[in-house]
Amino acid sequence: MYLGVNIDHIALLREARAINDPDPLDALGIARRAGADQITIHLREDRRHINDDDVARIMQNSHLPVNIECSINPEMIEIVGAFRPARVTLVPEKREEVTTEGGLDLGGNYEALDQAVFYLKRLEIEVSLFIDPTVENIKSAKGLAVDWVELHTGKYANIYAMLNTNLAQTKHCIKELNVERTRLKKMLKTSIKELEDSAIAAKNDYGLKVAVGHGLNYQNVSDIVKIQEIEELNIGQSIIARSIFTGFENAVKEMRDLIK
Ligand code: PXP
């Protein structure tokens, strides 16, 4: 199972002071040494973290394949395509969101997606679609002739967090707590099953490569790596957060070891 390390949050920290420190470029060699298989970056329309100059320098210096996430806006597709990354992951993008909140609406954006995929494939760039984990979405993704799907793990991660964080703080009301815990455990099981069924359908029924990402961390990743059809995990926030205390190289290595 491959690990793509998303380094957007390094650029986000830089932007907090609008100076060139920390430089996401410095992450490339360390990530590779620590066992990452891919560098993932998101060139947002508002350039809130990674900017065009970062992309140019990362493309020039990365010895690992680069996966660029971007919206389906034709202007963005053209900009990102010109960098010729190994892969482009198309994601929904809203200016007001803190992070990518859900998967692409494939039906509602069919034409724009079809054009984006055609444009990128002509440049010999692999294309991935960031989607919510439903078999219906997998079927639509196959119809769009992409190489990869990336299943959104945000719902799973949120339920996992509710089960393991919030409940621990409400120990005083035992009966209600048990009811809530049972409900959340059921929800967690369902969300894992959705990911598993989607991964199986994508790989076995439709011949698509399967990545997952969003909200994965050192606690919740273990259920996900049990799904054998998943080929790659893209993880950002939790790795960069851990780096503050243990260093970037250790944080990547730790995640690499957990995945193994
Ligand atoms: N995959 C995709 C498509 C994303 O948009 C993101 C968030 O930028 C990630 C993976 C990584 O998510 P996180 O930072 O929560 O690990």
pLDDT tens digits, 65-78: 999 999 999 999 99
Half-sphere exposure of 256 (CA within 13 A, CB side): 16
Residue 167, pLDDT score: 57
Q: Which of 234, 238, 243 most suits a substitution to test ligand 1, by most atoms within 8 Å of the C-beta?
A: 234
pLDDT digit string, tens, across residues 150-194: 999 999 999 999 998 765 555 556 777 778 889 999 999 999 999
Distance 114 CA to ligand 1 centre (A): 23
Statement: residue 137 has pLDDT above 70: yes
Distance 7 CA to ligand 1 centre (A): 10
Q: Residue 192 contacts by C-beta under 8 Å, 6 or more apart in sequence?
A: 156, 223, 224, 227
H/E stretch holding 117: helix 110-122
Confidence of residue 38 (pLDDT cuts 50, 70, 90): very high
Residue ranges covered by each domain of the chain: 2-259
> 253 is written with which tokens?
């290595």
Cα torsion 242, 215, 89, 146: sign: positive
Residues with CB under 6 A from ligand 1: 6, 8, 42, 69, 89, 91, 99-100, 130, 150, 213-216, 234-238
DSSP E strand boundaries for the chain:
2-6, 38-42, 66-70, 87-90, 126-131, 148-152, 209-213, 232-235
Residue 169, pLDDT score: 59
Distance 124 CA to ligand 1 centre (A): 24
Residue 172, pLDDT score: 59
Residue 58, pLDDT score: 98
Residue 19, pLDDT score: 87
CA-to-CA distance for 28 and 24, rounded, in angstroms?
7
Contact by Cβ (8 Å): 34, 256: yes
C-beta neighbour count of 113 within 10 angstroms: 23
pLDDT digit string, tens, across residues 216-234: 999 999 999 999 999 999 9
Residue 124, pLDDT score: 98
pLDDT digit string, tens, across residues 95-132: 666 676 789 999 999 999 999 999 999 999 999 999 99
- C-alpha to C-alpha distances, 162 to 165, 186, 188, nearest whole angstrom: 5, 13, 10
**Mean pLDDT, rounded, for 15-31:** 95
CATH superfamily entry for domain 2-259: Aldolase class I (3.20.20.70)
Residue 172 annotated in active site: no
- Output the pTM of the full model: 0.94
CA-to-CA distance for 125 and 104, rounded, in angstroms?
19
Place of tokens 């994601």: 91
Residue 166, pLDDT score: 60
**Mean pLDDT, rounded, for 49-56:** 97
From the list 49, 69, 93, 196, the catalytic residue is 69
From the list 9, 42, 49, 152, the catalytic residue is 42
